[in-house]
Amino acid sequence: MFIAAAVLLTLQELELHQIVVSKTYAPGALDCRGAEFHQAGPLQVDMVAELVGSEIRIRGHLGTRLKASCARCLGPVELPVERDFDLFYRPLRTIAREEEVEVPEDELEVGFYSGDGIALADVVSEQVILSVPMKVICQPDCLGLCPTCGADRNREACRCPASREDSPFATLKGG
């Protein structure tokens, strides 16, 4: 067992021993690939990487807080993230073919890497992105913004005239 502050989990090192990583990333230290959230606190990662046959297995836990905007009212939302992961990676050359290949169901959770190994920051960024819901909302009953005047209907009553007759769904009302 080896404790590393390594940034790259290399095959050469994993052939010798497993790698144990405990690392804290400062807010903003990771590239979340244009995601619509940002890291609000330190991100703690504790993980073990080992070679299992020809695959790299990475298992561990990460935790942080993220800030995003509500998809309905655009208000700020803080998301706690606590995520366990158990990942397998294969060399990309094992599938590097021109033809389309159907992936067996038991291999849908396998990732691929190219080069000498896997960058720890890439694994962590991917896991953070996967922990965020598709639509972030501040509360389940968020009323959102008025489409006409833009008022936050959670904070104030909208004063727009009831123009429900102009709605494309007015005919569904049956009135």
Strand duo 117-119 + 8-10: pairing = antiparallel
**Separation CA 144–CA 150 (nearest Å):** 9
- Tokens 């790698």, located at residue: 19
Per-residue pLDDT band at 4 (split at 50, 70, 90) = very low
d(CA 84, CA 82): 7
Helix, strand and coil content of the chain, in percent to the nearest 5, comes to 20, 40, 45
* Mean pLDDT along residues 141-146: 94
Q: Is 137 exposed, middle or buried (0-12, 13-18, 19+ CB in 10 A)?
A: middle
Q: Which amino acid is at 43?
A: L
| pLDDT for the residue 174 | 58
Residues 38-47: b if buried by 16+ CB within 10 A, e if exposed: ebbeebebeb
Supply the pTM of this predicted model: 0.75
Tens digits of residue pLDDT in 62-108: 999 999 999 999 999 999 999 999 999 988 776 655 556 665 565 55
Cα gap 137→18, rounded to integer Å: 40
Q: What's the confidence (pLDDT) of residue 159?
A: 82
For the stretch 53-63, pLDDT in tens is 888 999 999 99
- Over range 44-54, report the average pLDDT: 93
